[in-house]
Amino acid sequence: MPLPPVDTRRAFRPLSGEIAALLQSLPAADWERPTVAGSWQVRDIVAHLTDTALRRLSLQRDRLAMAGPSPGQDFVAFINDLNATWTRAARRFSPRVLTDLYVEASGELAAFVETLDLDSEAFFAVSWAGEAQSRQWLDIGREFTEVWHHGAQIRDAVGAGPFSNPEWLRAVLRIAMHVLPHAYRGLTAPQGTSITVRVTGPASGAWTLRRDQERWLADERDAADASATLTIADEAAWRLFFNALAAADSAAVVRVEGDPALARPLLQARAVIV
pLDDT of residue 47: 98
Q: Can you give the pLDDT of all 274 residues of the chain as single tens digits?
A: 689 999 999 999 999 999 999 999 999 999 999 999 999 999 999 999 999 999 999 999 999 988 777 777 787 888 888 889 999 999 999 999 999 999 999 999 999 999 999 999 999 999 999 999 999 999 999 999 999 999 999 999 999 999 999 999 999 999 999 999 999 999 999 999 999 999 999 999 999 999 998 899 999 999 989 999 999 999 999 999 999 998 889 999 999 999 999 999 999 999 998 6
Phi, psi angles (nearest 5°) of residue 264: -60, -45
pTM: 0.95
Looking at residue 17, its pLDDT comes to 98
Query: Vertex 243, ends 61 and 77: CA angle to 5°?
Result: 60
Alpha helices in 90-178 (DSSP H): 95-113, 136-158, 166-176
Q: How many CB atoms lie within 10 A of CB 79?
A: 13
Residue 70: per-residue pLDDT: 72
What confidence score (pLDDT) does residue 173 get?
Answer: 98
Neighbours of 186 (CB within 10 A): 9
Q: How far apart are CA 152 and CA 236, in angstroms?
A: 12
Nearest to 114 by CA among 9, 15, 16: 9
- pLDDT on residue 1: 64
CA distance linking residue 147 with residue 12, whole number of Å: 8
- pLDDT for the residue 214: 87
Q: Which domains, ranges and CATH numbers included, belong to the chain?
A: 9-164 (1.20.120.450), 179-268 (3.30.1050.10)
